Amino acid sequence: MDEALEAWLRVAAGDPGLTITGRARLSGGAIQQNFALDVVHRGAPASWVLRTDSTATLAVSHGRAQEFALLRAAQAACVTVAEPLFLCADARVIGAPFFVMRRVAGMAAGHRVVKQFGGQPDLVRAIGAEMARIHTIRPPRADLAFLGAPPPDAGRAMIATLRARIDAAGTPRPVLEWGLRAAERACPPPVPPVLAHHDFRTGNLMIDAGRVTAVLDWEFAGWGDPAADLGWFCARCWRFGQAAEAGGLGARADLHAGYVAAGGVLPDAARIAWWELLAHLRWAVIAADQAARHLSGQERSLELALTGHLLPGLEMEILSMAERL
Amino acid sequence: MLERPDAADLLATARDALLAEILPALPAEKQGVARMVAAAIAIALREAGAAQPATPDLAQLAAEIRAGVHDPGEAGHDATRALLRALTEARAAVSDPRALRRNG
């Protein structure tokens, strides 16, 4: 793909002398593929990442254009992201649409991040600030029209979505129903929608030398309640075995202080606790779906198989949290 | 009578060998897989030793809970809460005993 790609990049970057000096496949999933690109751009070496869809999943290939738009909106809101550079919607260049972003240093793996960077209040405050900046993005936004209209009530919409997924999966889950019903009874009133990342957690933040170098994985971003992100980040299931409440990294108070210092308006504690229960419910539904991919034979995988065994532990938390609402 | 050691003994011994002898010799990027194999064996071992709890009609129970039949103030609320906790504890004892201790 290098020749056609190089020709396209020369036009996109406005640099007829641009050359690709290296390309290596990075970790990727079943849906996306990432390549590290080393280029010489305007006479200087540069490190980029090319992100594209697996050729097997062309049906969702418009996803890259949306992700590019979200990254640009985040960057404009001063969120720390890998700078999006060029979008190519033409599948003929490399076989699928792609975009190119700057490569950032650091690591994201949750278990390693909490061990290496836990207990640094400055980092936790910086994470809170990133979240607050995401939440400054408000509808309506023509560039984010693909997100659709904001739900009139993000909390009730989430309950309905999770119930529909449980029904579609076909396995009765009385404890999840118990948690959802408790959430329904205690549902806080809707707030004006903001852009919520919807997977903002340790593991989706690139960290280098104790600093956030990129907020990753925007595929679930949408209009919603800012407390959804605060609850998701602090949910026990995303603490990677650590006691520290803010993502296994530090104190909730530091996360909130950083959020407020960056201009965020902190939701009340009950609303955040409500979304923390929803975080466990949502992760339990996702975990059940992942195990189902293994069980159905669609994707036999030890990791997916073990993910199914997270459900009883998540359900223990859900029963306890439902009591405290 | 089948020959001993039995399945539980073999699984436990295999898991010990994996953790003590194979894991330390693996490159870092493969240690995660070895840990997952050890975790899977541990779950299978616990399942082999677990009693199967008597299970009610879960589909009916789920539908009733969603419909509010077991809400606080309803006659069956406390019994349903206790049942759900007992069923979940039995499953967590196999799948995730640490979660059981946290919420015990």
Complex ipTM: 0.95
Q: Is A265's pLDDT higher than 90? A: yes
pLDDT at A219: 87
Interface of B with A (CB under 8 A): 33, 36-37, 39-40, 43, 58-59, 61-63, 65-66, 68, 70-71, 80-81, 84-85, 87-89, 91-92, 94-96, 98-100, 102-103
Per residue in A39-79, pLDDT (tens digit) is 999 999 999 999 987 655 544 445 888 999 999 999 999 99
Domain count across chain B: 2
| Of B26, B49, B72, the domain-final residue | B49
* Domain match, B65 and B34 both: no
| Closest residue, chain A, to B82 (C-alpha) | A319
| Closest residue, chain A, to B104 (C-alpha) | A316
- DSSP, residue by residue, A197-221: -S--STTSEEEETTEEEEE---TT-
Residues of A in contact with B71 (CB under 8 A): 181, 185
| Cα A178 from Cα B62, distance rounded (Å) | 8
- If pLDDT is split at 50, 70 and 90, which confidence band does A107 have? very high
CATH code: domain A2-102 is 3.30.200.20
List Cα–Cα distances, B74 to A134, A183, A311, in angstroms. Answer: 43, 17, 27
Centre a 10 Å sphere on the Cβ of residue A325 and count the other Cβ atoms it contains: 14
* Domain match, B44 and B70 both: no
Which residues have CB under 8 Å from A60's CB, separation 6+? A31, A53
- For the stretch B55-61, contacts whose Cβ atoms lie closer than 8 Å and that sit 24 or more positions apart, written own/partner, are B55/B87, B56/B83, B58/A172, B58/A174, B59/A172, B61/A172, B61/A174
pLDDT at B55: 86
* Domain match, B74 and B104 both: yes
Residues of B in contact with A320 (CB under 8 A): 103
Q: Coil, strand, or helix at residue A246?
A: strand
* Domain match, B13 and B39 both: yes
Per residue in A131-184, pLDDT (tens digit) is 999 999 999 999 999 999 999 999 999 999 999 999 999 999 999 999 999 999
Which residues have CB under 8 Å from A142's CB, separation 6+? none
Across the interface, of A163, A306, A313, the residue whose CB is closest to B99 is A313
Across the interface, of B40, B80, B96, the residue whose CB is closest to A312 is B96
Superfamily of domain A110-324: Aminoglycoside phosphotransferase (APH), C-terminal lobe (3.90.1200.10)
| Cα A224 from Cα B39, distance rounded (Å) | 37
Per residue in B73-97, pLDDT (tens digit) is 999 999 999 999 999 999 999 999 9
- Cα of B103 to nearest chain A Cα, Å: 7
- Cα of A320 to nearest chain B Cα, Å: 7
Q: Which of B95, B98, B101, B102 to mutate to test the interface with A (most CBs of A within 10 A)?
A: B95
Q: Which of B65, B89, B91 to mutate to test the interface with A (most CBs of A within 10 A)?
A: B65
Are the beta carbons of A313 and B59 separated by less than 8 Å?
Answer: no
Across the interface, of B33, B62, B68, the residue whose CB is closest to A172 is B62
- For the stretch B65-73, contacts whose Cβ atoms lie closer than 8 Å and that sit 24 or more positions apart, written own/partner, are B65/A174, B65/A177, B65/A178, B65/A181, B66/A163, B66/A177, B66/A180, B66/A181, B68/A181, B70/A178, B70/A181, B71/A181, B71/A185
- Cα of A250 to nearest chain B Cα, Å: 19
Q: Which of A175, A314, A321 to mutate to test the interface with B (most CBs of B within 10 A)?
A: A175
Distance, first Cα to last Cα, chain A: 55
pLDDT at A28: 58
Angle (deg, nearest 10), helices B77-95 and A174-185: 130
Side-chain half-sphere exposure of A310, counting CA atoms within 13 A: 24
Q: What is the count of residue pairs from A and B with beta carbons less than 8 Å apart? A: 83
Are the beta carbons of B92 and A312 separated by less than 8 Å?
Answer: yes
| Cα A300 from Cα A303, distance rounded (Å) | 9
Q: Which pTM was predicted?
A: 0.93
| Closest residue, chain A, to B95 (C-alpha) | A309
Q: Where are the domains of chain A?
A: 2-102, 110-324
| Cα A145 from Cα A282, distance rounded (Å) | 25
A177 and B CB contact within 8 Å: yes
Cis peptide before A140 (omega within 30 of 0): yes
Q: Mean pLDDT in chain A? A: 94
Token pair recorded at residue A203: 């593991």
More confident residue, B49 or A182: A182
Which residues have CB under 8 Å from A317's CB, separation 6+? A236, A237, A280, B99, B102, B103
pLDDT at B100: 87
Q: Coil, strand, or helix at residue A251?
A: coil
* Domain match, B60 and B98 both: yes
* Domain match, B70 and B24 both: no
Q: Are β-strands A205-208 and A211-215 bridged in parallel, bridged antiparallel, or unpaired?
A: antiparallel
pLDDT at A58: 47
* Domain match, B6 and B34 both: yes
- If pLDDT is split at 50, 70 and 90, which confidence band does B103 have? confident
- Domain holding B77, by residue range, is 54-104
List the Cα angle B38/A248/A222 in 5-degree steps.
Answer: 100
Across the interface, of A178, A185, A312, the residue whose CB is closest to B91 is A312
